Structure 1
């Protein structure tokens, strides 16, 4: 049986009269990546549009993300687009910015010199020294080092895959980044807690681009002053998350840890966190998101 048939039936049922049920149905369709008929989607979106004033910000972004994932963003009603645009969120998810075939984790692991370091974490006045669960590398074309959580990473030259990715991002975003933190998450049971990137607006500009390669993982944004205000996305190979403006000041982000069957069957993921130093700001142009 086609996976979308039960969900399509749900879309026409009384259950989706509640907004959250309708959002959940759309979210499931997006995760499956198997859109139902255009008619079914229009029924679901019409019900959501009728309740647009009651939807939370995270629900609005989930709707648009799901439609983008299915290649159906053109069906999104203005009643749902306008309130999301009015939020002026300082982050955006660009799905399939690069073709999934452009690189893979195995070739990146051969090309990049990853390390597992000790980091220092403090909470409640108590500092702990821990071995970092992910592996990392830092590459820079300007010879700048990068520091966080008590460790400083000496720069390595940009490798061919990174150079190719940097140039592709410059073409898409107008930003020419000069440094990149490369993170290797070997399994879905390895994640990254909620945090704000250090040095943004001081050593580094407020423009950051995070490109994913490998396993699809859950990426979450939450407001610093209201943890209930969350936006949840899944990022797949070739997807890019851009953070700009006041994002690093007002928002935190994390890579969620997966458990159970999802962790057991999942593979590795690499994230490329591109940064632009204040000392070499300007790039190709100051193009906004």
Structure 2
């Protein structure tokens, strides 16, 4: 069961906090990460609305010699699709404005993942389907719901693993070469019992 944060501000009219408050951490190989805790006011209410209204779907994928269940539920909104909540439209507009100079294009698609409890996860990967395999890009992730660990490590090893605890409206933005030269994951956790929704904003041609 989802437990709301005692620190969450449900005054949604103020909109997202200024992205100029984000703290940037340079990484190796030309990658960087911006982090802004509690970016979205009213994040717990947003979680409840998305949890109830998004048409979540389960997927199965081939892994080596067998087909397995994807350990999370998914939804995807292409660039011409209306987003499922006005707050996500506001978030996308704020990201477009703040990263316009670095990205040189707007964010086009929005993917959502529902991690139902600590048994749901995503393995080590980079968003390298499409342009992300060859070009620098920016992927922004808004987390609502129960806090989960997002880990980053250099692709191929040889460096430290970086941990961010994300939930209740926190934002992390991975830029530069991050998708090509680093990997990220949400590991399983026996300590987590509540659900989390990850909302990923990506430019066209990056998955």
Task: State the TM bucket, normalised to the shorter chain.
Answer: 0.7 to 0.9
Give the TM-score of the pair, scaled to structure 1. Answer: 0.54
1:129 paired to 2:59? no
Displacement after TM superposition at 1:89 (Å): 4.0
Within a 5 Å distance, the mapping from 1:97-136 to structure 2 comes to 97-101=39-43, 103-122=45-64, 127-136=65-74
Contact kept, 8 Å, 2:58 with 2:72, in 1: the verdict is yes
1:201 paired to 2:143? no
**CA RMSD of the aligned region, Å?**
3.0
Distance 1:101-1:117 versus aligned 2 partners, 3 A rule: closer
Displacement after TM superposition at 1:86 (Å): 8.1
Unaligned runs of 5+ in 2: 1-6, 8-20
Q: What is the alpha-carbon distance in structure 2 between the residues aligned to residue 116 and residue 200 of structure 1? A: 23
Structure number with greater CO (CA < 8 Å, separation at least 6) is 2
Unaligned runs of 5+ in 1: 1-32, 34-70, 74-80, 143-155, 280-289
Within a 5 Å distance, the mapping from 1:1-289 to structure 2 comes to 89-101=31-43, 103-122=45-64, 127-142=65-80, 157-161=82-86, 162-174=88-100, 176-201=106-131, 206-226=137-157, 228-259=159-190, 262-263=191-192, 266-278=193-205
- Larger radius of gyration, structure 1 or 2? 1
Distance 1:141-1:86 versus aligned 2 partners, 3 A rule: closer
Higher helix share: 1
Q: What is the alpha-carbon distance in structure 1 between the residues aligned to residue 52 and residue 152 of structure 2? A: 31
Runs of 4 or more consecutive aligned structure 1 residues displaced over 6 Å after TM superposition: none
2:48 alignment partner, SS class: helix
Give the TM-score of the pair, scaled to structure 2. Answer: 0.74
